[in-house]
Amino acid sequence: MKYYSTNHSIDAVDLRTAVLQGLPKDKGLYMPDDIPLIMPRFFENIQLLSFREIATSVALTLLGEDLPSNVIIDIIDNAITFDTPLIKLDDTHYVLELFHGPTLAFKDVGARFMARLMKHYIKDTDQKLTVLVATSGDTGSAVANGFLGIDGIDVIILYPSGKVSKIQEQQLTTMGENITAIEVDGSFDDCQNLVKTAFVDKALGQKMTLTSANSINIARLIPQTFYYFHAYAQLKRQGNTEPSVISIPSGNAGNLTAALIAKRMGLPVKRFIAACNSNDSLAKYLHTGELVAKPTKHTISNAMDVGNPSNLMRIQDLYSYSVEFLRQDLLSWSFDDDATRATIRDIYKTYNYIMDPHGAVGYLGTKRYEEEIDRDSVHIILETAHPAKFKDTVDAALGITVDIPSRLEQVLHKSKQSLRMPADFEAFKQYLLS
């Protein structure tokens, strides 16, 4: 299969080039030139399959032309070592918990898959990769964990100073080895712009091989399709066979893009909700048809603090730049911090379930859908991170003390290791060249 740029101004490339290059030279994003359908019989007995079996089937469908089946199976077996359980709140509301990986965030799935795919591509070569990552919270720690100790790959993580939670910062700044954290005086968008600019800088391109581990890299996006199929399998296992409405907390829109690709592959789903915080560029685009990038606002759901979501260009391309076409599959609303805090309390009071701020925004999207569209649908809300990663916010909202899992507790006692840097490309470039 070939992978083309969404800007359509350069030749399509193979999977290896798309993955190791990360960002096309014309500053678009790579997309597969064909999204294959999964055979309908796959869904007839999908409830009998494990997450790993489902992931393998989806990966073979998407990547079978590009990689030997034994390589795909080996990557899945090493990457998918944890579950993504569907938790029932009541007869029509379910939570897909995506935080059971090593760093307790949904990005563990994509980061671990991508790290092993890149390792496969550079093994038995003298090629050395430098992975650049901009993070608004969970991406950095997931990528750091996924790539930790992999020979031939260095990882540089850029994060906005003072705009990630304490636990998130500890996770991404205490790895050491082949992982370097850079604390940028600016926003996530500043970090992302530094990364994107580095990819197209000729001087850097001549001296080093740069690639990305953000969702701008197709290797991060593809594995994020897996858990949507797994959610449907679990829903079917619990006796619900009707397509559901899935609410996705959305920032840079990588998870959302993966969901829309899964639907194009044949996933039975009624509709998607892009639930946004006060960074509402995506929601405004769905409502008005015009994309207006805005300065990033800092919120308590900080992993979604993105003023200019990169993956929207993939979504636009997937839907032939027709917002009317897109609205058939996707609705979007935005919610502020006060509503998010109140929802964390409401969910705990109603269901005795502790939800993190991102999942709470997703739940708000579900409630808005029920109020304005349809009260009779079955809903799945994505819970993208463990609530303990936002302990101060959740503790304050609920008036309780949230337990910290031992693997999070351990990083709190490690020494922070980071470099402080302004949001200035020349400074970043000189650091890379040195």
Q: Is residue 202 included in any domain, yes or no?
A: no
Q: Is residue 161 included in any domain, yes or no?
A: no
pLDDT single digits (tens) 136-151: 766 778 888 888 888 8
**Longest C-alpha distance within the chain, in Å?**
59
Q: Is residue 14 included in any domain, yes or no?
A: no
Q: State how many domains the chain has.
A: 1
Supply the DSSP symbol for 265.
T
Chain-centre distance of CA 210, in angstroms? Answer: 20
Q: Is residue 40 included in any domain, yes or no?
A: no
d(CA 297, CA 369): 25
At residue 345, what is the residue type? R
The pLDDT, as a whole number, for residue 141 is: 80
Binned at pLDDT 50, 70 and 90, residue 391 comes out as very high
Of the candidates 131, 168, 183, the one whose C-alpha atom is nearest the C-alpha of residue 418 is: 183
The pLDDT, as a whole number, for residue 189 is: 85
pLDDT single digits (tens) 239-275: 988 899 999 999 999 999 999 999 999 999 999 999 9
Q: Is residue 68 included in any domain, yes or no?
A: no
Q: What 3-state class would DSSP assign to 7?
A: coil
Supply the DSSP symbol for 303.
G
**Which residue's entry shows tokens 């593809």?**
222
Say which CATH number the domain at 289 has: 3.40.50.1100
Q: Is residue 182 included in any domain, yes or no?
A: no
Q: Is residue 35 included in any domain, yes or no?
A: no
Instruction: Output the six-digit token pair for 245.
Output: 């409405």
Range of the domain at 338: 84-104+221-404
What is the model's pTM? 0.91
d(CA 102, CA 106): 10
Q: Is residue 62 included in any domain, yes or no?
A: no
